[in-house]
């Protein structure tokens, strides 16, 4: 089993590096990394990681800018990432951090780091320990920011 | 015949648990459950439930948040769920409850519970008793809230 | 040759019944009917009518509600219906009546009835008498409301 | 080699007739014509022209109305036409004239006629004389209205 | 290995010519050029460059106009370009310059030239020197305008 990491030169934080660090921290799975220019290049990178480099799961990371055109690119990339999964029967965990989610660069850095690390753990759980996710079903998990938590009865 | 349930850790209500409870209440069909992080992970989960775990139908449950980006994720997930169905010739009943459909957490809980239960019954009818749905054609059925009812002549 | 009718329990008018009535009125083609919960379930129903029940054409009928989420569901369903056609090389005539197209329930009933009947005739022409449609090319045909007619030189 | 023409009864100008006239004016290629109700029926018509009637290229013509729902239908049809091309490795030239592009019916007629004729010439060039398009690369060509022309250094 | 260049007659700058010039400047890879009318014709052109003319990567260039319909065409084309990549496991680098990104024609020319040249270098790196992109991961690269740079800790 191998984990694929796809990231971009467009992002303003080295998301791939954080992902690799987290993977090493939590397990000994090998990984492949594939860096592309922008988020719209991620779908085919994810597909190649799965089909040409035998990854069992991919974490696809990007940081869409704040302009409407950036939002649209992210939307197109997201659709592509869903298609990849359906063509390969393999999970591709999308980790997008929108620049305008955050108040300033400090928060952007924190949210990015947290979201990448949490989703790397989700990816590892999906392939090694799916029951762990089942235990968290419906608990309002969020990645990057605080969990919202479940609705209390 | 087996029913697949796909749900998320992002949701704030344990939708999979409600679905399983309803299934057990109305029939003795076996089921498979697959929990993923968010709605965009549901399409491939549904496809895997159909193709790798032999489910005859899937109920895919999620709870998109109130922000524009959440709406967009839900839209992308919905398109993916439609694609899964066309790739497998198998129904995937989407059960999304948008957090902002409801006035407060109490209503959110009620709507979620009702919608999940009603769609589990729809799913079972689709595979076991399709004539039952035909009898309800054009009667303004809604899931979660009150039925709107048919237009009266 | 067989005509497929897919309709929903969500619709507030029994569109399938009207369609069957019109088909019987104009020809002796056999038909299959498939009722699903909502418009997003129509694409796979249409595909199954074509591939599993041997329909030569499908009329897919639904009545999207007036809310933004209803519009989005209709959009997703429409994309799915186009995909079905491309996967099967078979026409699927979409007959959607948006609740907010009409001033009141009386008009909703009339528009629905007219649109369903006109599109059943279109479907039959597409498989039995395509030249008839060619004669109407560019004449501003509308289904449900009055024809707009051609631009006059 | 054969050219396919797909047009609609919804359009308010006989676009297929103009297209055939232009084709005959400029070359002796044979053609097939396929008239469908509306723009959303064009994708499968184009695919059938390519796969069942052996067309080497298709010109798909429609005239979306001015309402938001018409715009959405056009968008869905456009996506379908792109999918057809990717499934068949064959060009499908989309010729849509939006009713609200024009001030009045006179202009609508002129723009439609010009756009159809120019795109029929584009289609013929794509299959018979691709170098001609290459010479026009980056020159701000428009179909229907005046060319915008290249940006001057 | 061969690079494919797809461009349009709609664009107001000869993007293909700039791309070829840059390719020759940086390496000796052979290329194929395919000019089509508009951005919506680019996806199938890219697919044909890959499948019929054996290109290992494609740079697809277009210049969407400033109107809402132009934005929508660009969106549809982008989705098509992503699909091409997933169908062929081959990168297609999209180089779109929106006319309204720039204040005037002088800037439009500069941005276009820079963006095309930078993306040709990205394309060559993707097939010849992928490690180079990895070194730039998360550094806020932009094509056409100034790089934004990484978020500083």
pLDDT tens-digit series, residues E72-120: 999 999 999 999 999 999 999 999 999 999 999 999 999 999 999 999 9
* pLDDT for residue C152: 86
CB contact under 8 A, D93 and E52: no
- pLDDT, residue B142, reads 96
D136–E35: do the CB atoms touch at under 8 Å?
A: yes
Examine the predicted complex and report whether its ipTM is higher than 0.95. Answer: yes
Using the predicted structure, report yes or no on whether residue A58 has a pLDDT greater than 90.
Answer: yes
Instruction: Please report the pLDDT score of residue A29 as a whole number.
Output: 98
Q: Can you give the pLDDT at residue C153?
A: 79
Q: What percent of chain B has pLDDT over 70?
A: 100
Provide the β-strand partners of residue E58: E4, E92
Average pLDDT, chain C: 97
User: What residues of A are in contact with residue E153 (Cβ under 8 Å)?
Assistant: 109
The tokens of C105 are what?
A: 């329930």
Interface test with B, best of C31, C37, C45 (most B CBs within 10 A): C37
Q: Residues E131-136: what's their mean pLDDT?
A: 98
Using CB atoms within 10 A of its CB, is residue A2 exposed (0-12), middle (13-18) or buried (19+)? middle
The answer to whether the CB atoms of B142 and C73 lie below 8 A apart is no
Residues D122 and D93: beta-carbon distance below 8 Å: yes
pLDDT at D153 exceeding the cut of 90: no
Residue E137 has pLDDT above 90, yes or no: yes
Q: How confident is the model at residue B52 (pLDDT cuts 50, 70, 90)?
A: very high
- DSSP summary character for residue B137: T
Q: For D136, which DSSP code? A: T
Q: Among D82, D84, D132, which would you mutate to test the E interface (most chain E Cβ atoms within 10 Å of its Cβ)? A: D82
* Residue A74 pLDDT > 90: yes
At residue E153, the pLDDT reads 79
Tokens of C151: 């631009």
Sheet holding E3-8, edge to edge: E31-36, E3-8, E57-62, E92-96
Residue C121: the pLDDT is: 98
pLDDT at position A153, please?
A: 79
The answer to whether the beta carbons of residues B67 and A70 sit under 8 Å apart is no
B4, B6, B7, B12: best to mutate for the A interface, most A CBs within 10 A: B12
Task: Report residue E76: phi and psi, to 5°.
Answer: -65, -40
Average pLDDT, chain A: 97
A133 forms beta bridges with none
CB A15 within 8 A of CB A116: yes
Residues in B closer than 8 angstroms to C87, CB to CB, are 86
Q: Which of D9, D80, D108 sits opposite C136 (nearest CB)?
A: D9
8 Å CB contact between C102 and C108: yes
> C53: pLDDT confidence band, cut at 50, 70 and 90?
very high
pLDDT at D152: 86
Class of residue D18 by CB neighbours under 10 A (exposed 0-12, middle 13-18, buried 19+): buried
Let me know: does A107 contact A72? Beta carbons within 8 Å. Answer: no
Q: What token pair was written down for D128?
A: 């018979």
Q: Does the pLDDT of residue D16 top 90, yes or no? A: yes
Domains of chain B: 3-135 (3.40.50.960)
As a whole number of angstroms, the distance between CA B16 and CA B62 comes to 10
Cα–Cα distance list, C70 to A143, C16, C96 (Å): 29, 20, 12
pLDDT value of position D112:
98
Q: Give mean pLDDT, residues B18-42.
A: 98
pTM given for the model: 0.97
Helix, strand, or coil here: A24? Answer: helix
pLDDT at residue C4 in the model: 98
User: Are A140 and B11 in contact (CB < 8 Å)?
Assistant: yes
**Is the per-residue pLDDT at D32 higher than 90?**
yes
In this predicted structure, what is the pLDDT of residue A46?
99
Instruction: With CB atoms and an 8 Å threshold, state whether A12 touches E138.
Output: yes
Give residue for tokens 């000869």.
Answer: E14
Q: Which residue of E has its CA nearest to A110?
A: E153
Chain E residue closest in CA terms to A67: E101
- Beta carbons of A41 and E93 less than 8 Å apart: yes
Give the single-character DSSP code of E38. S
C114: confidence class by pLDDT, cuts 50, 70, 90: very high
Question: Measured between CA atoms, how close is D150 to chain C, in angstroms?
Answer: 34
Residue of B nearest to A96 (CA): B69
pLDDT band at D68 (very low <50, low <70, confident <90, very high): very high
Res B64 pLDDT > 90: yes
Q: Which residue has the tokens 């409870």?
A: B21
Counting CB pairs under 8 A, whether chains E and C reach 3 or more, is: no
Chains with ≥3 CB–CB distances under 8 Å to C: B, D
- Considering only CB atoms, which chain B residues are within 8 Å of A150? 12-14
Q: Rounded to a whole number, what is the distance in Å from the CA of E34 to chain A's nearest CA?
A: 21
Measured between CA atoms, the residue of chain C closest to residue D48 is C89
| Bridge partner list, E141 | none
User: E strands of chain E, at which residues?
Assistant: 3-8, 31-36, 57-62, 92-96
pLDDT (average), residues C20-45 = 98
Helix (H) or strand (E) holding C93: strand C92-96
| pLDDT at D51 (0 to 100) | 98
- pLDDT category at B153 given cuts 50, 70, 90 is confident
A36, A48, A69 member nearest E133 (Cβ): A36
Chain C touches chain B, with at least 3 Cβ pairs below 8 Å, answer: yes
The pLDDT value given to residue B152: 86
User: What value does the mean pLDDT take over residues D104-128?
Assistant: 97
Closest CA to C39 of C12, C19, C1: C12
List residues in chain C touching D: CB distance below 8 A.
71, 75, 78-79, 81-83, 85-86, 89-94, 98, 119, 122, 126, 130, 133-134, 136-143, 148-153
Structure tokens at C117: 């009947």
The residue among B36, B87, B96 with the most chain A CBs within 10 A of its CB, best to mutate, is: B36
For residue D94, give the H/E element and its range. Answer: strand D92-96
CA closest to A78 among chain B residues = B76
Q: Do B82 and C108 touch (CB under 8 A)?
A: no
B–E contact: 3+ Cβ pairs < 8 A: no
Q: Where does the pLDDT of residue A128 fall: very low under 50, low under 70, confident under 90, or very high at 90 and above?
A: very high
Give the mutation candidate from C75, C91, C138 for the D interface (greatest D CB count, under 10 A): C138
User: Using CB atoms, which residue from A139, A143, A151 is nearest to B105?
Assistant: A151
- Tokens 């009864």 correspond to what residue? D9
In percent, the amount of chain D with pLDDT more than 70 equals: 100
CA dist., res. C6 & res. B141, Å (int): 16
Tokens of D69: 């729902």
Sequence-separated (6 or more) residues with CB below 8 Å from residue D46? D4, D6, D58, D60, D81, D84, D92
Check: CB of residue E80 under 8 Å from CB of residue E86: no
Give residue ranges of A with CB < 8 Å to any B CB: 71, 75, 78-79, 81-83, 85-86, 89-94, 98, 119, 122, 126, 130, 133-134, 136-143, 148-153
| Percent of the residues in chain A that have a pLDDT greater than 90, as a whole number | 99
Judged by CB atoms closer than 8 Å, whether chains meet at D89 and E11 is answered as no
């Amino acid at each position: 089993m191998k984990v694929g990491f796809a990231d971009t030169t467009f992002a303003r934080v080295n998301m791939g590096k954080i992902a690799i660090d987290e993977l090493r921290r939590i397990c000994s799975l090998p990984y492949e990394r594939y860096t592309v220019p922008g988020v719209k290049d991620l779908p085919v990178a994810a597909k190649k990681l799965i089909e040409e480099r035998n990854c069992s799961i991919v974490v696809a990371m990007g940081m869409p800018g704040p302009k409407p055109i950036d939002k649209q690119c992210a939307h197109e990339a997201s659709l592509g990432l869903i298609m990849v999964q359906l063509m390969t029967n393999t999970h591709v965990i999308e980790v997008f951090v929108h620049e305008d989610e955050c108040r300033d660069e400090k928060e952007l850095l924190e949210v990015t780091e947290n979201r990448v690390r949490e989703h790397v753990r989700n990816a590892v759980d999906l392939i090694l320990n799916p029951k762990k996710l089942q235990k968290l079903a419906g608990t309002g998990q969020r990645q990057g920011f605080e969990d919202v938590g479940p609705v209390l009865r």
